[in-house]
Chains A and B, each alone.
Chain A
Amino acid sequence: MKRNQANATHAPCSSRRHFLAQQGIAGATLWIAGALGQQSIATPPKPNTAPVNYDLKPKPSHRPAQAKSMISMFMQGGPSHMDLFDRKPEIEKRSGENFSGELKYDNAAESSAKIWAGPWKWERYGQCGMELSELVPHLGSIADDVTLIRSMNTGVNNHGQSIYALHHGRVTAGRPVLGSWLTFGLGSESQQLPAFVVLTDPGGLPVLGTDCWSNGWLPSVYQGTVIRPQEPRILNLNPPPHLTGKPQKAYLDFLKQINAEHFANRPYESDLQARMGSYELAESMQSAAKEALDIGQETEATHKLYGLDQEPTREFGTRCLIARRLVERGVRFVQIYTSTQQWDHHANIKDALPAACKKTDQPSAALVKDLKDRGLLDSTLVHWGGEMGRLPVVQNEKNVGRDHNTYGFSTWLAGGGIKQGCIYGQTDDFGYQAVTDIVHHYDYHATLMYLFGLEADKLVFARPGGNGTLLDGQPGKIVEGILKNPILNNPVPNNPVAATPA
């Protein structure tokens, strides 16, 4: 009888791995597990107690998936929904009067109860007649492809907590983010590129820093991999600039020679050969990443579409274009960030809001158009939104801005099974609180998971004190009103996706 070789290669104590670990080469140093424990045919077989080996190989979803990949453009700071997406005639009518209800302010010192209407005009777009601000005309041009949710709510009136809530379901640090869950549940279609990619803004890290792509307590193979704005683009995958290209090639050539000689004296040690092979694999991953980032391969028309020919849109457009190239090559989840608090318009909203829109409106709409032209939109979920909206009243009367509001704000989604030309939910007359069809962060998560064919409650990871899930016991419901197709309700067995060790 043969030993259980699969069992033997599964090494114990290995659960944490970085993003490229799935390229494991079956090491030649096998455990002797089972070797001398050969037992009589009549003895019952031992169970497989080898620890689960976490990897990024593609895994089947619970149900048929509509979305296969996702690009999320996270607008940190909180775009002013009542100036962009959620027109409020009552604000326009009563601008200058005192707001009569209770408001929660973040900045008491500059606070005021005075209602304020922005100076921007509104227009209806598309066949669906979506009413949008003049600041986002490009979004208008894809209105018939998107669902605009006007009733988002996280209920925690600060950036950090609300960003956490939208990233991983709770308001405190340390949990695995959405991209980690998706790659944990589904792996990745590409074994050459990282499964979960983060494109940070050259202006700096998002406000919560690296927590935004933390694998939390999931194995670290599910951590987001940052493609940096400057060289080396991917740490540990690319060397520093002075070693890139030919110098590293020369290093690898020399290394290959000395390893070959070493192996020639140890011809039966296949582990050594495997390690030599792993350098070749590493090289091929480098070239795959380099190719994916090479936007020079795109046509001039594409560059133009994303606004790469203009200063205000070039940088953000480039990252949107890279995101498209990544999902095209099988990357599961791409997260794009704007620079720290770019949308946090406590003051000077009259200039700063148009500037922020200028930066993202054309590229984000281009991304949807481009994906659609390439037939990728049906399987790619696109998200645009921040962690909050803003208050209907003035902050800082000397230099008008708006304070935080997480009780009602807007977000748009497109592709991957999302309804087209749809407006969902409502805030009250002043845009302060979501009142109709409220979408909490956990509803949003349950819906995204559903579109990926996953049931949020059944994708679990065994933890001290019980199973860990994305929703963490919160009553997340699938928001049927934003779905293109009716909800499938066939039962799902418990945790078929990712077996986890006890």
Chain B
Amino acid sequence: MTPKSSLAVILFMPQIRPAGLAVAQRRLPTHQLATRILSLLAICSLMTQAITTLSGTLAAADTDPPTPEQLYFESSVRPILKTHCFHCHGEAEHREAGLDVRLVHLITKGGDSGTAIVPGDASASLLYKRVADDEMPPGGKSLSPKEKEILQRWLAQGARTKRSEPQTPPLEDWTEEERTHWAYQSVVAAQPPKLELTSNASTAESLLSPVDAFILDKLQKQSLSFSHSADRLTLIRRLSFDLRGIPPSHEEIANFINDTNVDAYERLVDRLLADPRYGEHWGRHWLDVAGYADSDGYSEQDTERPWAFQYRDYVIRAFNEDLPIDRFVLEQLAGDELVPTPWEAISEEQQRMLAATGFLRTAPDGTGHEGVDQNVARNEVLAETIKIVTGGLMGMTVGCAQCHDHRYDPISQRDYYRIRAIFEPGLDWKNWRDKNARLVNLWSAEERQRAADVDKLLAELEATRLKELDGIVADIFEKELMKLPEEQRQEARTARDTAADIRTPEQQKLLRDFPSLNVDRGSAVLYDGARINEFNKKFETQQADIRKARPADFFLACFSEVPNQVPATHLFFRGDFQQPRDPISPGGLSVLQEQDRILPDAPEIPTSGRRLQFAKMITQGVHPLFSRSMANRLWMPLFGRALSSNPGDLGRLGEPPTHPELLDWLSHRLVDSQWSRKNFTRELLVSNTYRQSSAKNGLHQDKDPQNALLGRMSLRRLQAESVRDAMLATSDMLTLKMYGAPSSVNPDEVGQFILGKATRDGNGILVAKQEEVSDTYRRSIYTQIRRSMPLGVLEPFDPATMTPNCDRRSNSTVATQSLMLMNNSTVIRLSEHFATRVIREAGSDATAQVTHAWLLAFGTQPNQEQQARSLEGLVALRAELLPKELDPAKVEAETSKSQHQALALYCQALLSSNAFLYVD
């Protein structure tokens, strides 16, 4: 590392760190502050080292090997022991071998086998020997060579601690190293860096937003700069996919390109943000976080959730209406506590708030499924819900602390159960309410009455039906009886009328010898199919007639608590609900000193109010985890990766932000803009950073191949839903119907999951066939998400996996995707529709056709060379598709058909091309 770069960092970093120090000051005596500052500087310098390594300007091999540094227990060794050893040798009730390895003096004291370490001599230290020989940890989970090496070196250096140790390991008194992790520090209201503009003069013009100052500052430090701005076609295509998930129409493109107003770009951004498609596309991002699905998952049964869509619709509306994020989160966590009970004849606004709590009902849920241990399933609903909530809103993997303290982050097992206590009143595993009991009926009083009347009539009809059916069964029995010798008939009647368990051996034998006497309601159809079918038809018709008067089901699936019923939450030893220990009060994370922030039950509402308080706690002010998490998540879809690249884990196993100051600045900005998503997004979109060209050159390749520093826009592949939606839009087949029940997904004849209802084939086997109806062509967000039946056309392109939720999508390039684009019947059908559209709009001239198709697919006219190549391509396809022998009577029809097929194949090539699948 050059002295210059480390100086730059030291000068730069203090701006963003004082609040971190403020946290420290609250808790630490002054004399420890010096150490704290030094360690912070060490962190800063490490980050610089990381950046230089990333950009490749300073390869490690070019520098001298680092002088062996002094290792300390707290910073180097404790994390290893915490990960591998603490649970059995410290935290658990029973300490294995009497050894506690949580403090050095306890290790020195040792356990049943005597002292565990000899400072200065690793090979004489029992702890090291057991670990080095892979005897510990048990079960083949040995330490890595690097971990062993650290342990060995620390012992050789004298097994030092940085600070003096307490007598006993304090409960939830997190070490300095743990507390100072970046994500827990207060969010700093930093000013954008004032840049000394070192590169070319035009850089000044490129600071269109404060965001740009943060980005450029880092770029300049690596002698990089912004790329030039992308052209207008690229910009509108990028904006359209980023905001709406579908391509711009060629009219929209032409309007934008020809717009000479200075604020043409800004107005385009506003227009797209106001488009209802925005909520559909961005709502999908949030549904990933929430783990939304239209089925239960969990067991083989994977029961459908017919009313889940109301939450999906809530999310789409919230994005379109720009519901402030704090309110959005409040409603999702505690909408039910905002609506007074009883929930009868509730207003639309109240329905909306109840629907919001669908967020807490997305987790896989095996309760009520056959063959499932109900207590396990109930507790897992709670566990998965906690994962979704804490990962989604706080970027913390709290779920890891269910069985023992988190192995990497300062999250105690008590913390876990504090959070569990927030949700347990609504998911009370000892007083479980099944899914139907939780549904809120949205019928009006009049509708309720009508339904009750209908149900009464149906019950009466059913009684009549059964009586009549029993008559038929009796007739059949009499007929079967005729097969018996006359003298046995009366005996058989008696046998049949006698309960099975008190029949005499003779009666039993008689019925065994004439098994066809055993007719009952269920088997009657086997005896007299015609009569039973007629009978069934008669009653089905009557039932259907009565049912017509019944209002359609209208339910809301939401989260709720039983008023005035608050179960106690206990810490579970090893996470096992059969081993409850201390009762635990609701609270937040102790590392943030939030363990006591959820106050005793609020008196003004009949439910516990815990979720309401939790929501307020995290949305108040600039919460370090919540606000960073939200800003980080809003950044991700626009730039292809989040600033802290794993938005579900801002802890030690996640990645520190590439631009920590920017993330903090954005977090404040989000709060300052009244949590408006649209304002925040607009701020990012008008930045120069966003508007850059995606062109990657040799310098980028050398210095920042992954584009972490954003010296250009990243080239991005469309996400799964957009691949399909863009094809629908381009072929002019997109149905824009919003909201409501999803389009059904079912297996087809080979087991691929397609859009269509399941019907019986000629052999009575249930298969789905894709139908050409408008519902087939709705946007992907409106297709049914069945956890066990991923829609075939989406699956190859890495859709969200809901186990339980998805923090970021993967981005694979596999042959399955190519095979789908080449051969999938939906893709082929859409290509045919695309061709039909081209002919409709461009006529029959081949040149006009290829040109227009190109325009529709890519938003621009082909250049001369592209046009010539396309024409050549189409001619070749026509030649291949023209039947070898034309029926003279049908020459025209067959030629026209083959030409349509050729054009469709040309269109399919455009839809399968990289230019279509990627956004510059």
A interface, CB within 8 angstroms of B: 1, 11-21, 23-47, 49, 98-103, 105, 107-113, 170, 172-175, 204-210, 213-214, 216-217, 220, 223-226, 228, 232, 235-240, 242-243, 246-255, 257-259, 261-263, 266, 268-269, 271-272, 274-276, 278-279, 281-282, 285, 340, 464-466, 493
A42 touches B655 (CB 8 A): no
Residue B30 CB within 8 A of the other chain: no
Residue B813 CB within 8 A of the other chain: yes
Could you tell me which residues of chain B, from 900 to 920, have a CB within 8 Å of some CB in chain A? 901-902, 905-906, 908-910, 912-915, 917-918
Across the interface, which residues of B come within 8 angstroms of A175, CB to CB?
A: 300
Report the minimum CB–CB distance from A15 to chain B (whole Å): 6
* Bound CA span A465–B371, Å: 11
B300 touches A217 (CB 8 A): yes
User: Which residue of chain A lies nearest to B77 when distances are taken between CB atoms in the complex?
Assistant: A44
Could you tell me which residues of chain B, from 326 to 358, have a CB within 8 Å of some CB in chain A? none
* Contact for A237 among B300, B765, B819, CB less than 8 A: B819
Name which of A33, A100, A217, A465 has the most chain B CB atoms within 10 A of its CB.
A465
A213 touches B796 (CB 8 A): no
Could you tell me which residues of chain B, from 24 to 83, have a CB within 8 Å of some CB in chain A? 46-47, 49-51, 53-54, 60, 66, 69, 71, 75-76, 79-80, 83
B526 touches A204 (CB 8 A): no
* Contact for A465 among B47, B147, B377, B767, CB less than 8 A: B377
Chain B interface size range: 35 or more
Could you tell me which residues of chain B, from 761 to 820, have a CB within 8 Å of some CB in chain A? 761-763, 765-767, 788, 790, 792, 795-796, 798, 800-801, 803, 806-820
* Contact for B813 among A25, A243, A257, CB less than 8 A: A25
B823 touches A44 (CB 8 A): no
A340 touches B765 (CB 8 A): yes
* Contact for B655 among A36, A223, A226, A236, CB less than 8 A: A36
Across the interface, which residues of B come within 8 angstroms of A17, CB to CB?
A: 795-796, 814, 816
A236 touches B814 (CB 8 A): no
A109 touches B519 (CB 8 A): yes
Residue B602 CB within 8 A of the other chain: no
A31 touches B658 (CB 8 A): no
Given contacts A46-B653, A111-B515, A253-B876, contact A278 B751 (CB under 8 A): no
Across the interface, which residues of B come within 8 angstroms of A99, CB to CB?
A: 512
Across the interface, which residues of A come within 8 angstroms of B515, CB to CB?
A: 103, 105, 108, 111-113
User: Which residue of chain A lies nearest to B809 when distances are taken between CB atoms in the complex?
Assistant: A13
B866 touches A261 (CB 8 A): yes
Across the interface, which residues of A come within 8 angstroms of B640, CB to CB?
A: 29
A204 touches B763 (CB 8 A): yes
Report the minimum CB–CB distance from A9 to chain B (whole Å): 9
* Bound CA span A237–B823, Å: 6
Report the minimum CB–CB distance from B189 to chain A (whole Å): 23
* Bound CA span A174–B303, Å: 11
Could you tell me which residues of chain B, from 861 to 920, have a CB within 8 Å of some CB in chain A? 866, 869-870, 873, 876-877, 880-881, 901-902, 905-906, 908-910, 912-915, 917-918
Given contacts A32-B641, A172-B300, A282-B822, contact A247 B715 (CB under 8 A): no
Report the minimum CB–CB distance from B307 to chain A (whole Å): 22
A36 touches B54 (CB 8 A): yes
* Bound CA span A278–B364, Å: 35
* Bound CA span A13–B799, Å: 8
Report the minimum CB–CB distance from A5 to chain B (whole Å): 11
* Contact for B140 among A43, A255, A262, A493, CB less than 8 A: A493
Interface segment, one of B250-258, B414-422, B695-703: B695-703
Across the interface, which residues of B come within 8 angstroms of A268, CB to CB?
A: 696-698, 700-701
9 A-B residue pairs with CB within 8 Å: A24-B812, A33-B645, A209-B766, A243-B905, A275-B917, A279-B818, A279-B822, A285-B815, A465-B377
B222-264 CB mask vs A (1 if < 8 Å, else 0) is: 0000000000000000000000000000000000000000000
A271 touches B751 (CB 8 A): no
B50 touches A35 (CB 8 A): yes
Report the minimum CB–CB distance from A501 to chain B (whole Å): 8
B2-42 CB mask vs A (1 if < 8 Å, else 0) is: 00000000000000000000000000000000000000000
User: Which residue of chain B lies nearest to A465 when distances are taken between CB atoms in the complex?
Assistant: B376
B811 touches A209 (CB 8 A): no
* Bound CA span A272–B816, Å: 16
B147 touches A38 (CB 8 A): no
Across the interface, which residues of A come within 8 angstroms of B144, CB to CB?
A: 45
Report the minimum CB–CB distance from A238 to chain B (whole Å): 6
A251 touches B909 (CB 8 A): yes
Q: A32-B658, A254-B869 are in contact. List 20 more A-B contacts (CB 8 A).
A: A18-B816, A42-B76, A44-B146, A45-B146, A47-B653, A108-B526, A113-B512, A113-B513, A174-B300, A174-B301, A207-B765, A209-B767, A213-B751, A220-B795, A235-B750, A235-B825, A251-B908, A258-B909, A262-B915, A466-B376
Residue B575 CB within 8 A of the other chain: no
Residue B372 CB within 8 A of the other chain: yes
Across the interface, which residues of B come within 8 angstroms of A226, CB to CB?
A: 749-751
* Bound CA span A22–B147, Å: 33
Residue B673 CB within 8 A of the other chain: no
Across the interface, which residues of B come within 8 angstroms of A285, CB to CB?
A: 815, 819
Residue B322 CB within 8 A of the other chain: no
Q: Is the interface of A mostly helix, strand, loop or mixed?
A: loop
Report the minimum CB–CB distance from B156 to chain A (whole Å): 13
User: Which residue of chain B lies nearest to A111 when distances are taken between CB atoms in the complex?
Assistant: B515
B513 touches A98 (CB 8 A): yes
Across the interface, which residues of A come within 8 angstroms of B811, CB to CB?
A: 11, 27, 29
Given contacts A13-B801, A214-B751, A236-B752, contact A205 B761 (CB under 8 A): yes
B881 touches A247 (CB 8 A): yes
A37 touches B914 (CB 8 A): no
Across the interface, which residues of B come within 8 angstroms of A47, CB to CB?
A: 83, 653
Report the minimum CB–CB distance from B100 to chain A (whole Å): 20
* Bound CA span A210–B761, Å: 13
Residue B717 CB within 8 A of the other chain: yes
Report the minimum CB–CB distance from B517 to chain A (whole Å): 9
User: Which residue of chain A lies nearest to B642 when distances are taken between CB atoms in the complex?
Assistant: A32
Closest 10 CB pairs of A and B: A174-B300, A11-B810, A210-B751, A38-B50, A109-B526, A254-B873, A226-B750, A111-B515, A23-B815, A14-B810
Across the interface, which residues of A come within 8 angstroms of B46, CB to CB?
A: 38-40
Across the interface, which residues of A come within 8 angstroms of B714, CB to CB?
A: 29
Report the minimum CB–CB distance from A24 to chain B (whole Å): 4
Across the interface, which residues of A come within 8 angstroms of B683, CB to CB?
A: none
Report the minimum CB–CB distance from A57 to chain B (whole Å): 14
* Bound CA span A339–B806, Å: 42
A14 touches B828 (CB 8 A): no
A269 touches B696 (CB 8 A): yes
Across the interface, which residues of B come within 8 angstroms of A38, CB to CB?
A: 46, 49-50, 53-54
User: Which residue of chain A lies nearest to B655 when distances are taken between CB atoms in the complex?
Assistant: A37
A108 touches B876 (CB 8 A): no
Report the minimum CB–CB distance from A189 to chain B (whole Å): 18
* Contact for A464 among B380, B652, B767, B915, CB less than 8 A: B380
* Bound CA span A331–B552, Å: 51
Report the minimum CB–CB distance from A297 to chain B (whole Å): 24
* Contact for A33 among B71, B146, B513, B655, CB less than 8 A: B655
Could you tell me which residues of chain B, from 740 to 760, have a CB within 8 Å of some CB in chain A? 747-752
User: Which residue of chain A lies nearest to B370 when distances are taken between CB atoms in the complex?
Assistant: A172
B823 touches A235 (CB 8 A): yes
B818 touches A251 (CB 8 A): no
Across the interface, which residues of A come within 8 angstroms of B50, CB to CB?
A: 35-39
Given contacts A232-B823, A272-B914, A465-B377, contact A251 B905 (CB under 8 A): yes
A172 touches B371 (CB 8 A): yes
Across the interface, which residues of B come within 8 angstroms of A240, CB to CB?
A: 825, 828
A20 touches B762 (CB 8 A): no
Report the minimum CB–CB distance from B65 to chain A (whole Å): 10
Name which of A19, A37, A252 has the most chain B CB atoms within 10 A of its CB.
A37
* Bound CA span A219–B877, Å: 38
A205 touches B877 (CB 8 A): no
* Bound CA span A224–B825, Å: 19
User: Which residue of chain A lies nearest to B817 when distances are taken between CB atoms in the complex?
Assistant: A278
Given contacts A32-B706, A172-B371, A224-B751, contact A239 B817 (CB under 8 A): no
